[in-house]
């Protein structure tokens, strides 16, 4: 369906111009200079010939077929030209012209018009408001950017045209090669998911990199990315994640940016490697494109300088990677041949006076070690270092082994000959040990992701009808906030353990309930308008007798009327006093792009201050829920510290899976908090003590 953008047999440039200051001139010139072999039709009603090419007044005046039309004309003419393209049977259009959705208001309407025309004629459209397409394989350059990158293995898509120009320019300087280079623009028709699918099948693209400001359809993106990234690594920058950034995005390309955490979770679940900067994007892309895949997480360092080796080791530690412990035999062999003052232990230090032969010996010995999965090879150009020779030796070893070796030639001036040799032999260099380690970390994460089973979603035995019934009651009542009684029904229907409890409207009722539950009890203000009961002294624990309960009832009502006079108060909830445990929060928040998100965190009344949470897009598989627990900073607390018994992690996972299923079964529940889930020792379960639920 998107072939027209690959190797079109003919391209029309609508808006081709004599005027060197116009984009229409730059596009035609680039096309001519890119070595494109097909037919080129410049379209301009006011010219006979441009840049030596015969010119046509409109696409309809062209005799032959047109596969692809590049449109660079003022925005008010674009719709008419699209109509003509449709009539002509053009398959693909690239609308470079801006002035549509990104302008808001009228612009959105105008963009929808374009889309209608495109759909009507069964065309595909890239843009509007984009830079165009570069294809080094075809070759074809249908952009107004300066210069054409080298041929390479990386396919790049970018939502920002300007950033793409910067990347292109930088790529020319750094000699980074690309296979395809696509500017997405406003993504009215073709979006990131279309390109992922296209490039997955592309033998010329080993790695896909993306600069995204928003994702059109979160669920679809996750589904496709998950499949694609099994064969083809995807590395993405998602810009506009901080609050200020998110606003900038909506005014920039008009996309609604999803929240930072939702993207983090979605990328993680789909196996997409996330980069935070352009530098990281290409550090990772180069590693994935040029090094063989990593098959473990034991990393060795070979260096001709102690200080750099230590920096690499520190970085490995910070990245939570493993410093490989070398086999005894490797250490013996190294010890026997390395001079005094070297280190035969990982990190291996060959000393500053090492020539290329000593370096080769050490690196090769380490690479042969079964305990080593990947190597960072550091070289600092010291007085006697043979930079070029060592670069060649490293390149030979890199190409001769199926373990990744990431070289780190440190320095600029003297190191450059080595870096250039590596580059010419298609090996990326990392200027600093930290960057090499970070790229290695990205490879380790990918290896781990590939080793994971595909996420399988268990269907738990639940009572949907009971939830439907409870939600209908809330709606019938004209409310969006789910009250305690309904929340209890819902929790029960989904098999979540809750304490005994009942709402009491007056002191006598409260005493009755307390006696039935049995002392000690807990009492809380029951009101849909009071979110944090503790804040106004609305929770009383450990009440031991009838008088206590009576007094507490009056006290709670007094506090509610005093601190929240506007709040609707239903009475007091009398609850069974649950034994102490670890308090966690399990919640649901609906993300506009990815749907329900499951959150787990260290809970209780300090949850917002601690911010110790992990999130995933629902539904989650059992192992994903387990991962969420181990990801928490406070995980050691749950595992049991200082002689404490471990908490019932099973029970947490069980509750998470049930909440995840509830969220997926009832998307109308847009917010849900269980805080706290009181988690007891292993085997003793967990109880959902306090909850809050809001409907859309």
Residues near Mg ion, by CB under 5 A? 675, 690
What count of other Cβ atoms lies within 10 Å of the Cβ of residue 106?
10
Q: Which of 534, 551, 562, 639 binds ligand ADP (CB under 6 A)?
A: 534
The strand pair at 686-688 and 691-695 is best described as: unpaired
> CB 525 → ligand ADP: shortest distance, Å?
8
Q: What is the total residue count of the chain?
A: 696
> CB 531 → ligand ADP: shortest distance, Å?
7
CA 686/CA 674 separation, integer angstroms: 12
Question: Can you read off the two tokens belonging to residue 295?
Answer: 């098959």
Between 154 and 517, name the residue whose CB sits nearer to ligand ADP: 517
- The DSSP 8-state label assigned to residue 696 in this structure reads -
In what helix (H) or strand (E) does residue 437 lie, and over which residues does it extend?
helix 433-451
The strand pair at 177-183 and 150-158 is best described as: parallel
> CB 550 → Mg ion: shortest distance, Å?
25
**Residue 541 interface partner, choices ligand ADP, Mg ion, none, CB cut-off 5-8 Å depending on type:** ligand ADP
> CB 524 → ligand ADP: shortest distance, Å?
5
What is the side-by-side order of every strand in the sheet holding 177-183?
Answer: 140-143, 132-135, 177-183, 150-158, 207-212, 234-238, 273-275
CB 556 within 8 A of CB 536: no
Tell which residue, 248, 270, 354, 234, has the closest CA to residue 305: 354
Position 544 contacts ligand ADP (CB under 6 A):
no
> CB 606 → Mg ion: shortest distance, Å?
11
Q: What share of the chain is helix, strand, coil (3-state, %, to 5)?
A: 40, 20, 35
> CB 145 → Mg ion: shortest distance, Å?
55
Listed in sequence order, the residues at least 6 apart from 204 whose beta carbon sits closer than 8 Å to its beta carbon are 137, 153, 155, 179, 180
**Residue 583 interface partner, choices ligand ADP, Mg ion, none, CB cut-off 5-8 Å depending on type:** ligand ADP
Position 610 contacts ligand ADP (CB under 6 A):
no
CA 495/CA 115 separation, integer angstroms: 47
> CB 536 → ligand ADP: shortest distance, Å?
9
How many angstroms separate the Cα of 302 from the Cα of each of 58, 266, 328, 438? 63, 36, 17, 16
Position 605 contacts ligand ADP (CB under 6 A):
yes
Position 499 contacts ligand ADP (CB under 6 A):
yes
Residue pointed to by tokens 């099948």: 201
Tell which residue, 220, 219, 444, has the closest CA to residue 316: 444
> CB 583 → ligand ADP: shortest distance, Å?
5
Reduced to 3 states (helix: H, G, I; strand: E, B; else coil), residue 655 is helix
CA 214/CA 548 separation, integer angstroms: 56
Position 604 contacts ligand ADP (CB under 6 A):
yes
> CB 633 → ligand ADP: shortest distance, Å?
19
Position 411 contacts ligand ADP (CB under 6 A):
no
CB 391 within 8 A of CB 421: yes
HEC letters along 475-531: HHCCCCECCHHHHHHHHHHCCCCCCCEEEECCHHHHHHHHHHHCCCEEEEEECCCCC
What count of other Cβ atoms lies within 10 Å of the Cβ of residue 562?
10
CA 231/CA 207 separation, integer angstroms: 9
Binding part of the chain for ligand ADP, among 118-126, 351-359, 527-535, 551-559 by CB under 6 A, reads 527-535
CA angle at 677 for the pair 656 and 456, rounded to the nearest 5°: 5
> CB 667 → Mg ion: shortest distance, Å?
24
Q: Which of residues 76-135 bind ligand ADP (CB under 6 A)?
A: none
Position 673 contacts ligand ADP (CB under 6 A):
no
> CB 634 → ligand ADP: shortest distance, Å?
15
The counts of H helices and E strands in the chain are: 24, 29
> CB 678 → Mg ion: shortest distance, Å?
11
Q: Which of residues 547-566 bind ligand ADP (CB under 6 A)?
A: none
Position 245 contacts ligand ADP (CB under 6 A):
no
Position 234 contacts ligand ADP (CB under 6 A):
no
Position 578 contacts ligand ADP (CB under 6 A):
yes
Between 244 and 609, name the residue whose CB sits nearer to ligand ADP: 609
How many angstroms separate the Cα of 123 from the Cα of each of 312, 423, 468, 518, 585? 52, 41, 44, 72, 49
Tell which residue, 106, 81, 115, has the closest CA to residue 254: 106
Position 524 contacts ligand ADP (CB under 6 A):
yes
Position 689 contacts ligand ADP (CB under 6 A):
yes
**Residue 384 interface partner, choices Mg ion, ligand ADP, none, CB cut-off 5-8 Å depending on type:** none
Position 676 contacts ligand ADP (CB under 6 A):
yes
Between 268 and 582, name the residue whose CB sits nearer to ligand ADP: 582
Position 541 contacts ligand ADP (CB under 6 A):
yes
**Residue 450 interface partner, choices ligand ADP, Mg ion, none, CB cut-off 5-8 Å depending on type:** none
CA 141/CA 594 separation, integer angstroms: 35
CA 91/CA 351 separation, integer angstroms: 62
> CB 590 → ligand ADP: shortest distance, Å?
21
**Residue 539 interface partner, choices ligand ADP, Mg ion, none, CB cut-off 5-8 Å depending on type:** ligand ADP
Between 139 and 499, name the residue whose CB sits nearer to Mg ion: 499
Tell which residue, 139, 163, 176, 247, has the closest CA to residue 212: 163
Tell which residue, 594, 591, 592, has the closest CA to residue 222: 594
In what helix (H) or strand (E) does residue 301 lie, and over which residues does it extend?
strand 298-303
User: In the stretch 246-285, what mask flags binding to ligand ADP with x, by CB under 6 A?
Assistant: ----------------------------------------
Between 42 and 581, name the residue whose CB sits nearer to ligand ADP: 581
**Residue 604 interface partner, choices Mg ion, ligand ADP, none, CB cut-off 5-8 Å depending on type:** ligand ADP
How many residues line the site for ligand ADP (CB under 6 A)? 18
Between 183 and 575, name the residue whose CB sits nearer to ligand ADP: 575
Binding part of the chain for ligand ADP, among 66-74, 532-540, 558-566, 627-635 by CB under 6 A, reads 532-540
User: In the stretch 583-602, what mask flags binding to ligand ADP with x, by CB under 6 A?
Assistant: x-------------------
Between 280 and 690, name the residue whose CB sits nearer to Mg ion: 690
Between 26 and 689, name the residue whose CB sits nearer to Mg ion: 689
Binding part of the chain for ligand ADP, among 395-403, 443-451, 528-536, 620-628 by CB under 6 A, reads 528-536
> CB 541 → ligand ADP: shortest distance, Å?
6
Position 517 contacts ligand ADP (CB under 6 A):
no
Residues that bind ligand ADP (CB under 6 A): 499, 522, 524, 532-534, 539, 541, 575, 577-578, 583, 604-605, 675-676, 689-690
């Amino acid at each position: 369906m998107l072939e027209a953008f690959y190797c079109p047999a003919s391209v029309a440039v609508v808006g081709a111009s004599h005027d060197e200051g116009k984009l229409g001139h730059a596009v035609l010139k680039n096309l001519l200079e890119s070595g494109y072999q097909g037919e080129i039709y410049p379209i301009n009603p006011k010219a006979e010939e441009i840049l030596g090419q015969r010119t046509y007044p409109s696409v309809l005046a062209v005799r032959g077929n047109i596969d692809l039309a590049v449109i660079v004309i003022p925005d008010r003419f674009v719709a008419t030209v699209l109509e003509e393209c449709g009539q002509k049977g053009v398959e693909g259009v690239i609308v470079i012209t801006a002035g549509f959705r990104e302008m808001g208001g009228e612009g959105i309407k105008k963009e929808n018009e374009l889309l209608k025309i495109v759909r009507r004629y069964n065309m595909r459209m890239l843009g509007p408001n984009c830079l165009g397409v570069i294809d080094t394989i075809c070759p074809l350059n249908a952009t107004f950017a300066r210069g054409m990158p080298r041929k390479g293995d990386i396919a790049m898509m970018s939502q920002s045209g300007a950033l793409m120009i910067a990347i292109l320019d930088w790529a020319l300087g750094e000699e980074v090669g690309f296979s395809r280079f696509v500017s997405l623009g406003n993504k009215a028709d073709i979006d990131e998911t279309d390109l992922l699918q296209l490039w997955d099948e592309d033998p010329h693209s080993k790695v896909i990199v993306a600069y995204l400001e928003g994702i059109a359809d979160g669920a679809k993106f996750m589904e496709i990315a998950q499949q694609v990234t099994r064969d083809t690594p995807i590395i993405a920058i998602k810009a506009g994640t901080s609050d200020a950034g998110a606003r900038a995005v909506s005014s920039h390309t008009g996309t609604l940016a999803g929240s930072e955490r939702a993207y983090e979770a979605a990328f993680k679940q789909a196996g997409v490697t996330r980069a935070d900067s352009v530098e990281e994007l290409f550090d990772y892309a180069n590693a994935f494109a040029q090094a063989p895949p990593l098959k473990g997480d034991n990393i060795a360092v070979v260096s001709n300088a102690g200080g750099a080796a230590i920096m690499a080791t520190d970085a490995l530690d910070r990245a939570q990677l493993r410093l490989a412990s070398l086999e005894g035999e490797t250490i013996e062999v190294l010890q026997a041949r390395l001079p005094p003052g070297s280190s035969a232990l990982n990190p291996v230090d060959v000393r500053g006076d090492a020539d290329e032969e000593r370096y080769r010996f050490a690196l090769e010995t380490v690479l042969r070690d079964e305990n080593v999965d990947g190597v960072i090879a550091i070289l600092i150009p010291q007085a006697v270092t043979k930079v070029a020779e060592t670069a060649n030796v490293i390149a030979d070893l890199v190409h001769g082994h199926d373990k990744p070796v990431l070289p780190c030639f440190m320095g600029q001036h003297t190191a450059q000959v080595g870096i250039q040799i590596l580059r010419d032999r298609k090996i990326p260099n990392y200027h600093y040990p930290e960057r090499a380690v970070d790229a290695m970390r990205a490879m380790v994460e990918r290896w781990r992701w590939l080793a994971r089973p595909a996420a399988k979603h268990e269907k738990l035995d639940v009572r949907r009808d009971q939830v439907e019934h409870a939600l209908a009651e809330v709606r019938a009542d004209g409310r969006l906030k789910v009250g305690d009684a309904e929340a209890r029904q819902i929790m029960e229907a989904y098999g979540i353990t809750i304490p005994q409890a009942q709402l009491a409207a007056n002191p006598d009722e409260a005493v009755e309930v307390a006696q039935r539950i049995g002392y000690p009890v807990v009492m809380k203000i029951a009101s849909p308008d009071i979110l944090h009961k503790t804040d106004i002294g609305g929770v009383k624990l450990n009440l031991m007798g009838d008088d206590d309960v009576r007094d507490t009832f009056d006290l709670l009502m007094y506090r509610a009327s005093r601190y929240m006079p506007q709040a609707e108060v239903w009475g007091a909830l009398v609850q069974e006093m649950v034994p102490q445990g670890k308090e966690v929060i399990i919640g649901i928040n609906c993300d506009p792009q990815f749907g329900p998100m499951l959150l787990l965190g260290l809970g209780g009344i300090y949850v917002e201050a601690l911010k110790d949470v992990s999130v995933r897009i629902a539904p989650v598989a059992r192992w994903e829920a387990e991962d969420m627990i181990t990801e928490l900073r406070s995980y050691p607390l749950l595992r049991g510290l200082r002689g404490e018994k471990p908490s019932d992690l099973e029970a947490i996972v069980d509750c998470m899976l049930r909440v995840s299923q509830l969220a997926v079964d009832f998307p109308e529940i847009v917010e849900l908090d269980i805080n706290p889930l009181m988690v007891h020792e292993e085997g003793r379960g967990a109880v959902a003590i306090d909850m809050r639920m809001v409907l859309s």
